[in-house]
Amino acid sequence: MTSPRFSRRSLLAGLGVSSALLPLLDIEPARGAAAAAPKRFCALVWPDGVVPNSYFPSGGETSFTLSDVLSPFEAHRDKIIILDNIENRPMMDQFPNYGGHASLPYLLTGGPAKHFTSGEDGAIGDSMSLDQYIANELQKRSPTPIHSIVTGVDNKEERDSTTKYVSFSGPASGNQPNAPAVQDDVHALYKKLFGSTTGGTMTDTSLVRLRAERKSILDLVASDLQRFGRRVGTGGQSKIDAHLTAIRNIEQQLDVIGPATMLAPPKDDSTIDSFSKEQYDKISKVQVDMVVSAFASNLTRVATMLWSNGHNNSWVFYWLGDEFRQPGDGSFNPLRSQHEMAHRGMAGGDDTRRKNTLDKWFVSQFAYFAGECKKITEYGKTMLDNSVLLFANNMGEGASHTNQRLP
């Protein structure tokens, strides 16, 4: 027997409980005895390559020894896969005579690019990137309030649109990339994530209260279903029992997830200047903290962090010591910039040591990101267990702008 009266939507409407309430629970339906944990993806990209012999580990596939540059990953060695001999084949096939900075748009697309504006230095992505594809698919299956997050550190500093994007929604429009807006103002990003009705401004107490209210909604639906079940025949009772089972599964998921998943957002630190070149370390850390909180609160499940463009001429590593803030050779910045240090990275001595030091700092930031994800427990595992995190550079060896052995 098929009747609108017994459809799920009609049944809930008849009980006075809108079917729109259940999506507000923000929980995926259970599959059998175990609930399906939310899956998440994040890519953190930094430019200018590495010193390959200093970067890659030695040893076997599982018995590897991390290099000093990769040593911040030691706490996560049982959860990492370090790939080697990866080439930027799409770029090498399309433009075999180019390299270096134009490689950025290929990194997450694996597809073609267009519009080289200044030789090897500029290209626009001309296909969808991995992060946006994943976000689109996840939105179809289990929508989140925010499609995805794309952050950058002082992205406005780079005016050339061919070297400031790594995330693309699709083919380019003429000479302009079809790319999500890069969020480089940490205060604007905070407001977008946590300053609206998405719930981010809640205190710990109000988060617990919200969880209790959601459970009370389930209890109301369950009691109404049971009362309604006494008025239907055997055939209708089986459908009601199925609804009750689904409701109890959702309640169990709320119990398994616990209050930790409803993570209170980080504080919006008013002392941080989103465009201060001396605060890039603080800006990047707070971007990580906000992405982790957005993941844990299920505001979104996909994020991309580009630190910060295809050149990083403005990156002077003030926080790494006096030698990093001294005058450079003047080729890209009056002070020693990341771009300059990349060009000198294979020279040996202090030049190589400084290049390895700055790359180790980027590794440490990604390790911090993984560590924060590991602190959050959900579905009997950690949020890190339920995530795929990608750490990648658009060049192999920075001094010669190679497209082989991408880290």
* CA proximity to 40, closest of 362, 361, 261, 199: 261
Query: Which of 42-51, 219-228, 364-373 is predicted least confidently?
Result: 219-228
Residues 21-38 have a mean pLDDT of 45
What six digits make up the tokens of 363?
């590794």
Return the pLDDT at 163. Answer: 83
Most confident of 118-127, 161-170, 261-270: 161-170
Higher per-residue confidence, 40 vs 5: 40
Confidence at 3, pLDDT banded by 50, 70, 90: very low
pLDDT average, residue stretch 301-314: 94
How much is the average pLDDT of 314-332? Answer: 95
Task: Compute the chain's Rg from CA coordinates.
Answer: 25
pTM for the model stands at 0.78
Q: Are 208 and 259 in contact (CB under 8 A)?
A: yes
**pLDDT value of residue 123:** 86
Nearest to 199 by CA among 280, 311, 298, 305: 298
Please name which of 317, 324, 312 lies closest in space to residue 393, comparing C-alpha atoms.
Answer: 312
Q: What is the pLDDT of residues 77-119, one digit of tens each?
A: 999 999 999 999 988 888 887 777 889 999 999 988 886 665 5
Cα(321)–Cα(293) distance, integer angstroms: 30
Residue 65 DSSP one-character state: B
Structure-token pair, residue 166: 């790594």
Question: CA–CA separation, 292 vs 373, rounded Å?
Answer: 6
Phi, psi angle pair for 331, to nearest 5°: -70, -35
Pick the more confident residue, 14 or 224. 224
| Mean pLDDT, the chain, integer | 81
Question: Which whole-number Å values give the CA distances from 348 to 321, 325, 395, in the listed order?
Answer: 19, 20, 19
- Tell me whether residue 387 is exposed, middle or buried, using C-beta atoms within 10 angstroms of its C-beta: 0 to 12, 13 to 18, 19 or more: buried
Q: Distance between CA atoms of 200 and 192, rounded to whole angstroms? A: 9
- Is the distance from CB of 265 to CB of 200 less than 8 angstroms? yes
* C-alpha span between 162 and 360 (Å, rounded): 27
Say whether pLDDT at 274 is over 90.
Answer: yes
Q: Which residue has the higher pLDDT, 69 or 94?
A: 69
Q: Token digits for 22?
A: 């259940």
Instruction: Give the model's confidence band at 228: pLDDT under 50 very low, under 70 low, under 90 confident, else very high.
Output: low
* Number of CB atoms found within 10 A of residue 130's CB: 18
